[in-house]
Structure 1
């Protein structure tokens, strides 16, 4: 019975007629056609699909603890935005840009760790995505994807330096030049390290995810992306057309409901020119995209 329900959900979301139009119409014609359908979201003329690189690998073999909240005693708000609750943490408001390198796993890890550091340890330093190039267990070819679970474990075991020490620079990563153990600002690399305390899974349950967001802050999520999300401009994204382009890592920073559709509020790493200034609203529990299947929550050392 469960599998029958999932099949119905998938069919109801993906639309073969829209997909056929996507494959056959000129780009401008298709955008006009799609936006005339009055669906839950709109798309733009400029697509990101040709630039996307597969950037995340899942690893369900790693045994992580699963932390739950007693939601029976929690009055969860109908909508939530971590940028508002923790307005003292500027990192939560930041939108990052991975450029043409498939390094979303680095951003998903470092930015979520940075947010949690600020929320729980009052540490306002941005952690370096670039330093994760030293995590040789995290990837095979760095700009072709990595493993966020192992990346969080690297933060815990080996630490991450600050962004000021090692700012993001995709060019050497694309050229296979990794793991520089020096700081561009002259600070001692090893003394600049910040260490994580633990990482755990968040259950694939609406109330548990919301409770974790409200209590502890942004969550790192890995999900399947299709061509249509790379065309998204605003509204609530529901997968309708396009090919599977692999896994992608982002931060979930909140949730809400728009015209009866519940969504997760996502901070992406495709820059502010994509989505709604870098923010995406993605419909909850779409089986095709698996957003809720592998959610990771890090905590700073001592917490």
Structure 2
């Protein structure tokens, strides 16, 4: 059945929503206040014309509580640098950079790439698989091209499972990505990326040339767990189990950096 039970990491993902901070009547007042503090950076309304959808702001699912993480000895030394590509050179997925194209599926890519890496790390390089961002983005209830939730994405991997799938037009795996690449904020050979994008329809079939069925290609995790404001524990977990998917709280000042 191609089913895997390697443990995956769930990192806490919290997105804020755009609103004027308490105590300021306008955004200009906040910019002036930040600059009056004479810190190491200057505030400006860099994203003033961007919509909430373009910024990918989604509220965290109400009442969601992640499973507790494993216990680590925080007295253990942390090296000055740690490169997963060097630590696990046989894991090709760690070196690969995928393109989400004109789709707000960063949440899906973060999760499936970390899962792919950790399958390889846990199997000591014996199992090399690219988990499908297409399957996650199109079929899970964790999100779509309008944004999504890391927590729910990991839960979907454990409860339902995901098939394999490589880059756009790669013909690799059960469900390769179907949204064509684009240029992200630069001028190049590809057309420029646009915001949002249409989410591909969910399908329970594989590429015609692939030698497994959709059900037979499912890969599953055994459980998820999450860290919150536990920097050293996350570092130790990466050193032991491989790359993680991470979300962060978007403070209002973030939009003026």
* Deviation digits for residues 10-60 of structure 1 (CA, Å, limit 9, x no counterpart): x635523xx27x69xxxxxxxxxxxxxxxxxxxxxxxxx89x934463336
Aligned pair partner of 2:175 in 151, 166, 171: 166
* Deviation digits for residues 150-205 of structure 1 (CA, Å, limit 9, x no counterpart): 1111111111111111111126x944441111111333111011111111112312
Over 3 Å counting, the alpha-carbon distance change for 1:117 and 1:224 in structure 2 is same
Alignment-derived partner of residue 132 in structure 2 = 128
Over the aligned positions, Cα root-mean-square deviation in angstroms equals 3.2
Conservation of the 8 A alpha-carbon contact between 2:120 and 2:127: yes
Alignment-derived partner of residue 53 in structure 1 = 54
Which gives a bigger RCO, structure 1 or 2 (Cα 8 Å, sep 6+)? 2
Over 3 Å counting, the alpha-carbon distance change for 1:225 and 1:119 in structure 2 is same
1:213 maps to 2:217: no
Gaps of at least 5 residues in structure 1 are 1-6, 24-48, 227-238, 245-303
The offset of 1:126, in angstroms, is 0.6
Alignment-derived partner of residue 42 in structure 2 = 15
- Distance in 1, matches of 2:141 and 2:198, equals 19
1:181 maps to 2:204: yes
- Distance in 2, matches of 1:102 and 1:86, equals 29
Over 3 Å counting, the alpha-carbon distance change for 1:87 and 1:174 in structure 2 is same
- Distance in 2, matches of 1:241 and 1:159, equals 35
1:192 maps to 2:217: yes
Conservation of the 8 A alpha-carbon contact between 1:127 and 1:161: yes
Aligned residues: 192
Give the structure-2-normalised TM-score: 0.64
Conservation of the 8 A alpha-carbon contact between 2:121 and 2:241: yes
- Distance in 2, matches of 1:148 and 1:120, equals 21
**1:202-281 matched pairs, under 5 angstroms:** 202-223=227-248, 242-243=255-256
Conservation of the 8 A alpha-carbon contact between 1:89 and 1:118: yes
Aligned pair partner of 2:142 in 134, 138, 143: 138
Give the structure-1-normalised TM-score: 0.55
Alignment-derived partner of residue 277 in structure 1 = none
- Distance in 2, matches of 1:174 and 1:217, equals 31
Deviates more, 1:217-226 or 1:95-104: 217-226
Conservation of the 8 A alpha-carbon contact between 1:56 and 1:105: no
**1:6-45 matched pairs, under 5 angstroms:** 12=39, 14-16=41-43, 19=44
Conservation of the 8 A alpha-carbon contact between 1:113 and 1:127: yes
Gaps of at least 5 residues in structure 2 are 1-32, 166-172, 181-195
Over 3 Å counting, the alpha-carbon distance change for 1:113 and 1:66 in structure 2 is same
Alignment-derived partner of residue 117 in structure 1 = 119
The offset of 1:213, in angstroms, is 1.2
> Which structure has greater strand proportion?
1
Conservation of the 8 A alpha-carbon contact between 1:55 and 1:104: no
